[in-house]
């Protein structure tokens, strides 16, 4: 089983729709979680950290479910500019040192 | 916010050439930087963790003699792809954490697109 798994998509949604992505992780000792956005041929940019209590930033809501070992990202009122690949990242203790493992990303295409 | 600068952004060179990529943290000190590689339509793959003042930690399957990492200061890490071949063509991205500990997010450089002819 992969350390971090995401549905690659693509998710094709109309403007204004609400869309949700999940990301599962295998290591129950994982400590911190993040969502990144990556545009085509660009570097990933941090979208938001994911906190145990859940957190919201404008149209974006991130949640963590430790019992089921997944994190989610909800995007409300989708905009055309939201079209990108969304990567989840999980901080894992690997042999005594911390490393962040990324999922393969979920591609979102918002359609006019 | 934390800014990471990477240079060059694009390299095209002949097979056998060695290519050096620089990664700088502009407004913070980074004792640890990370080097990733990303092939088209694939995920980011961690190559190595660069530690200031000590040897880099390489991931399994990454040749340390092929990908030389130097982290001589708190704001600069370099990756040298030695004797590059076409199969080394990829998108190389560095990142750094602003702050101590694994709970801080990583911030990425702009990436270097390497094309070996």
Strands B10-13 and B4-7: unpaired
Chain-centroid distance, C-alpha A108: 11
Residues B40-67 pLDDT 10s? 888 889 999 988 888 899 999 999 999 9
Q: Which residue has the tokens 């954490």?
A: B97
A69: region left, alpha or beta (phi > 0 left; psi from -120 to 50 alpha): left
Instruction: Give the pLDDT of residue B54.
Output: 84
Which residues of chain A lie closer than 8 angstroms to B104, CB-CB? 32
Residues A38-52 pLDDT 10s? 998 899 999 999 988
Q: Which residue has the tokens 């660009």?
A: A42
Nearest to B43 among A32, A41, A102 (CB): A102
The share of chain A scoring above pLDDT 90, in percent, equals 74
Q: Which of residues 19-38 of A touch B (CB under 8 A)?
A: 31-32, 34
Find, in chain A, the residue whose alpha carbon is nearest to that of B106. A46
Q: Which residues touch A53 (CB under 8 Å, ≥6 apart)? A: none
DSSP sequence for A10-78: -EEEETT--EEEEEEES-TT--EEEEEEE-TTS--EEEEEE-TT-EEETTEEEEEETTTTEEEEEE-S-
Whether the upstream peptide bond of residue B9 has omega within 30° of 0, thus cis, is no
Cα separation, B44 vs B92, in Å, equals 9
A45 at interface of B, judged by CB pairs closer than 8 A: yes
Q: Do A31 and B46 touch (CB under 8 A)?
A: no
């Amino acid at each position: 089983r992969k350390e971090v798994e995401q549905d690659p998509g693509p998710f094709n949604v109309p403007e204004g729709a609400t869309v949700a992505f999940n990301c599962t992780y295998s290591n129950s000792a994982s400590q911190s979680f993040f969502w990144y956005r990556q545009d085509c041929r660009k570097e990933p940019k941090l979208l938001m950290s994911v906190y145990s209590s859940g957190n919201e930033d404008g149209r974006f809501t991130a949640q963590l479910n430790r019992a089921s070992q997944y994190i989610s990202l909800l995007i409300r009122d989708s905009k055309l500019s939201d079209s990108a690949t969304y990567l989840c990242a999980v901080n894992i203790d690997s042999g005594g040192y911390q490393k962040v493992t990324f999922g393969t990303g979920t591609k979102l295409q918002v359609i006019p | 916010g934390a800014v990471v600068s990477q240079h060059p952004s694009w390299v095209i060179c002949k097979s056998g050439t060695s290519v050096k990529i620089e990664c700088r943290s502009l407004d913070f000190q980074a004792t640890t930087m990370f080097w990733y590689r990303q092939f088209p339509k694939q995920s980011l793959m961690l190559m190595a963790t660069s530690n200031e003042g000590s040897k880099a930690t390489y991931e399994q399957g990454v040749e340390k003699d092929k990908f030389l990492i130097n982290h001589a200061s708190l704001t600069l890490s370099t990756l040298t792809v030695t004797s590059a071949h076409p199969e080394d063509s990829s998108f190389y991205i560095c990142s750094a954490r602003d702050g101590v500990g694994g709970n801080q997010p990583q911030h990425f450089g702009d990436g270097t697109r390497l094309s070996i002819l």
